[in-house]
Structure 1
Amino acid sequence: MTPATPAPVLLDAVPVQQEQRDKSRARRPRLYVLDALRLIAALSVVAFHWTGVNLHPEVWGQKPKALMPTVNGITAYGWMGVQLFFLISGFVICMSCWGRSPKDYFISRVVRLYPGYWFGVIATALVVNFAATVRASRKPLSFSELLANLTMLQKPLWVPDADGVYWTLWVELRFYLLFAVVAVMGLTYRRVLVFCGIWTMLAVITPYTQIGLMDLLFMPNDAPYFIAGVAMYLIYRFGVNPMLIAVVAFSWLISQNRLHATLGAYRHEVGYNLSWNVAAVITAVFFLVMLAAATGLLNGIQWKRLTVAGALTYPVYLLHQEIGWALIRWGRDHGLAPYPLLALCLAAILTLAWLVHRFVERPGSAWLKRMLESGRFSLPKTDPPVLSR
């Protein structure tokens, strides 16, 4: 008798036929809900910096906790929009580079990040250096620091960020570097799943090693969000199976533990203790909403104008902190009441973000993509001829 074929292990839970249908399954409805979630995350961070931070009372003339206590109690958790960003990033990066060459992956990240970022650095530096001082603790950027910020590598260069919110870009860059390892080998279900498992274990053990390089590479506080986002994209592409649900569940379990360290870091900016219970519930909601999107439960959201919301997210994020604080200080000095002032500042930042997207990001990305695809920046297949002397 022919022996029965053994059941596949969970790592191979996606059938071969499903891998073969990869290209056809890639043509899924656009997830407009991700554009909405991006903007929600960005506005959450905006609310935190404008009304949740009590560290810089000179912005409003007093601490927001005293000026608007109810709003401050809510927006003190607005920093958690960053965690939602990381979840979305894990999903989107996996989606955007699936089936693409390493060169295409590199180009897509460069043209997406740098044109708007360069504008944001320069505009923020002009405000910080030449507008009326908003914060006594904020020092003007030197020309050398400005140039270093243009690389997006100011953190490892020990140069202050042009805008404090740019610290997250260094986290994103490290995620891109880690994911490039599996992207170079070629993305498959098995390889990406193994990547998630290995990164999870390395991120968990990193705090115990007390090795700075491991902390730098494996990002124990932020890794669970990226890993869960990647696993959710596998769910979106290949369907639900126990292994992927386990990866997402373990990522949330780890993230709630790492929240203790994150809450401690934000206590300095807020000025009082934040509730772990509230933060854990918010994180769980983020995971559940993203899981609903991955499983198709939110495919009914098909409002095409949400793509505009998604497009505004990055410039809003880049421009809102130092420039927003300067706008608040200006409005306060001119006698505007807090809530009308907030509405005016938000309208100004959204308008500026649209202008940056329309006249900086779109043409800048197109030009940069043409340059990178022209072959001028490709590695030569052979050594160039030696110059005669």
Structure 2
Amino acid sequence: MRARIPERPGEPRRLAVLDGIRVLAALAVVFYHYVALASAWGQPTTDVFPLARRFAVYGWLGVEIFFLVSGFVICMSAWGRGLGDFAASRVARLFPAYWAGVVFTSLVLLLWPEVRPGVKYTDVVVNLSMLQGGLGVPNVDDAYWTLFVELKFYALFALVVLRGLTYRNCVLFCGTWTLAGVVAPTADEGVLSFFAMPSASPYFIAGIAFHLMRRFGPNAVLWVIVGIQFLLAQHYVYGRMTSSLGAAVTERTPLWPAHLVILLGFAVMAALALGTLDGIRWRWLPHAGALSYPLYLIHMMAGLTLIHHFRDRVAPVPLALGTTASMLLSAWALHRLVERPLGRRLGAALRRGIQDIRVAAAPPRPEPGGLPGQPAVPGTDRVPAGRQGVS
């Protein structure tokens, strides 16, 4: 008989450090879009922010950190849930804020088409499904490309939830996905590459392994999984940097800071998995972390439009800081007025619907004292003759 891997007792419902990592990752992406991109400033940002731009060109790595955290959080939040509950929780978590973000960004681009012409109505409608990445429809906001990657991760992880979320199944999933990601670039198979996501999967897989460490304790297998994902993540740094900055800029930009940021991200998640950071419980962190998702959804096109509109009237540094503050305030309003109340209602409605489906699909129960549709024998709790002992 195999020994059962013990779970860590008393696991907190929310880890404050994860909120801190989220908000730092979101601010890094904002920093990258506002300081490194030249589209809104009308001139090279090397002239606008000669010093800050040297750091901002690495802000795209916030996306990689988001993926790393997502692997950890999805594995943690799905534990003990069935497939229906898992799907309901993901829909309720992602879509209310996303719908509001799509509408908000579309209105900004429609009213002030300064950095991009107004979007098409049909594109907005498809974007509301979050499936535009698979249909070849342009994103209303360029930052939304990551959301389709997240959806594909959820679809893959749902297979684990369907089979049963256990330590063994998670490890098998990590190994299978790693193999698919290694084979995909040379297999010349579009479907395999579509789901394997070789440049993103190392972060999701490492996050899952870190959660398994947190839940069951570290061991050699989990460290090997993390180590392989770390090496694969480092392999894709140049390609990700080129896709973010362009080949010409990448050739002039040192790569080592990007490698270092990934190392630090893995190190922080390892410390979290081992419980080293459990003492960090600052009360403001959950509130800050709650703003990370709505901030990510609305900051890019709306913020760049704001910068473009006021670039000739406000100095660059105050304009960048003011735009960031405006987006944070808007994210807070979106969270309080839309994401939190609508997310709760949508989640409750979806769970009721799932429960109704379960009830409807369940086999009918025998009536007391008899088979379905057969009346009970008056005055006795015994089932009719010939059915005694059948359960």
Q: TM-score, normalised by structure 2?
A: 0.88
In structure 2, what is the Cα distance between the partners aligned to 1:372 and 1:125?
27
Matched, 1:109 2:90: yes
The residue aligned with 1:287 is 266
More divergent stretch after superposition (319-328 vs 265-274): 265-274
Instruction: Read off the aligned partner of 1:42 and give its amino acid letter.
Output: A
Distance, in Å, in 2 between the alignment partners of 1:270 and 1:323 is 27
Equivalent runs, 1:34-113 vs 2, <5 Å: 34-54=18-38, 56=39, 59-113=40-94
4+ runs deviating over 3 angstroms: 269-272, 376-380
Is the Cα–Cα contact under 8 Å of residues 241 and 250 in structure 2 kept in the other structure? no
C-alpha deviation, 1:366, in angstroms: 1.4
Q: CA separation of 1:91/1:238 partners in 2, compared to 1, >3 Å: closer, same or farther? A: same
Q: Distance in 2 between matches of 1:31 and 1:238?
A: 17
Q: Distance in 2 between matches of 1:113 and 1:33?
A: 21
> Percent identity between the aligned chains?
41
**One-letter code aligned to 1:307:** P
Flag structure 2 segments of 5+ consecutive residues without an equivalent: 364-391
Which of residues 307, 317, 320 is equivalent to 2:286?
A: 307
Q: In the alignment, which residue of structure 2 is the partner of 1:387? A: none
Which SS does the other structure have where 1:28 is aligned?
coil
Decide whether the 8 Å contact of 2:242 with 2:250 is kept in 1. no
Distance 1:374 1:161 in 2: 32
- Aligned match of 2:121: 143
**Structure 1 residues 114-263: aligned runs within 5 Å:** 114-131=95-112, 133-135=113-115, 138-263=116-241
- In structure 2, C-alpha distance between the alignment counterparts of 1:104 and 1:382, rounded to whole Å: 17
- What secondary structure sits across from 1:342 in the alignment? helix
Name the CA shift for 1:70/1:30 in 2 (closer, same or farther; >3 Å). same
Report SS of the residue matched to 2:51: helix
Q: What is the aligned partner in structure 2 of residue 30 from structure 1? A: 14
Indicate if the aligned counterparts of 2:78 and 2:86 stay in contact, CA closer than 8 A. Answer: yes
SS at match of 1:160: coil
Give the Cα–Cα distance (whole angstroms) in 2 for the partners of residues 170 and 269 of structure 1.
25
Pick which of 362-371 and 282-291 moved more.
362-371
Shift of 1:27: 2.6
User: Is the Cα contact below 8 Å between 1:124 and 1:162 reproduced in 2?
Assistant: yes
- SS of residue paired to 1:25: coil
What is the identity, as a one-letter code, of the residue corresponding to 1:27? E
Question: Aligned match of 1:276 in 251, 255, 265?
Answer: 255
Cα pair distance change 1:26/1:210, threshold 3 Å:
farther
2:388 maps to which residue?
none
Work out the CA distance in 2 between the residues paired with 1:154 and 1:73: 33
Measure the CA separation in 2 of the matches of 1:310 and 1:79. Answer: 18
Q: TM-score, normalised by structure 1?
A: 0.89
* 1:373 to partner: Cα distance: 1.7
Taking structure 1 as reference, are residues 370 and 29 closer, same or farther at Cα in structure 2, changes over 3 Å only? closer
Question: 2 CA distance for matches of 1:287 and 1:270?
Answer: 29
Structure 1 CA distance for aligned equivalents of residues 268 and 103 of structure 2: 36
Larger Rg: 2
